[in-house]
Amino acid sequence: MGSLSSQEKTVTGWAAKDASGLLTPHIFTLRETGPDDIHLRILYCGVCHTDIHQTKNHLGMSNYPMVPGHEVVGEVMEVGTNVRKFAVGDIVGAGTIVGCCRNCNACKSNIEQYCNKKIWSYNDVYTDGKPTQGGFASAMVVDQKFVVRIPENLAPEQAAPLLCAGVTVYSPLKHFGLMQRGLRGGVLGLGGVGHMGVKIAKAMGHHITVISSSDKKREEAMDHLGADAYLVSSDPADMAGAVDSLDYIIDTVPVFHPLEPYLALLKFDGKLILMGVINEPLNFVNPLLMLGRKMITGSFIGSIDET
């Protein structure tokens, strides 16, 4: 595979050195390209709210120096001897996970995002004992299992957010049987995952209501993303008018918030799907669930198959 694989590769990334989250240049080395590895030159990387959580140690588990970024699109520069699906020059993507145990029930069911021994693309330790570093860098080496091909008709920079935010929304819609046309869905919070939720659910033929705490994102939701309705959660009359109207809500809010106002919006058998990472307990009054056979559930990114 050429001289590249006989030595470690020195790359430059943008790393957080402490909980200030400030990113500065950081030089580090990538492992040799092993038999199942792909060495890619990074072209684009999305910015996810998790990158902010991690660089600023919001979750209390950050290790520094840390190169964030897990919505990575790049060009294949080198492939290992066992790699058949990808070739030099291909445009490919890598997401949140770069390793898993491959033996647990989750791995055997091809939902490796639920493996208890999964390896994150950054702020983790790889099987060789070295820290993983993410996509805010010039290159990565990734096991082929965790690499996907980017279709030629999809712009690489537009593909990047699909590798986390996009599949994070797609996965629960698929798993919970919410892909048929004509469903009425809500998207709570219009950040990275939220805006992807609007786009993907609209593509599935759903009627989508964006729910936000103020009016300031109305134009973005309606005119730019094509939402069907806009609900201001701080307006009691607005919320009362939407009671019992939605089949599901994608809740992307990454901070503590009461659940009752949104449970009230769900129809009989409606689902509140939690996607924002929150490090304190949420609460709700359970008759709101029982009297409508409603569900509060969660979902975590998506599998490589779904991606």
Domains and CATH numbers, the chain: 10-163 (3.90.180.10), 166-306 (3.40.50.720)
As beta bridge partners, residue 26 has 13
Instruction: Give the SS3 label for residue 145.
Output: helix
Tell me the CA distances in angstroms from 129 to 125, 133, 192, one per residue in order: 6, 13, 32
Q: Is the peptide bond before 25 cis (omega within 30 degrees of 0)?
A: no
Q: Find residue 232's DSSP bridge partners.
A: 212
pTM, rounded to two decimals? 0.91
Q: Which of 127, 11, 120, 1 lies closest to 68 in space, CA to CA?
A: 120
Q: Up-side HSE of residue 61: CA atoms within 13 Å toward CB?
A: 10
Per-residue pLDDT of the chain (307 residues), as tens digits, is: 443 444 678 999 999 999 999 999 999 999 999 999 999 999 999 998 889 999 999 889 999 999 999 999 999 999 999 999 999 999 999 999 999 999 999 999 999 999 999 999 999 999 999 999 999 999 999 999 999 999 999 999 999 999 999 999 999 999 999 999 999 999 999 998 999 999 999 999 999 999 999 999 999 999 999 999 999 999 999 999 999 999 999 999 988 999 999 999 999 999 999 998 888 899 899 999 999 999 999 999 999 999 9
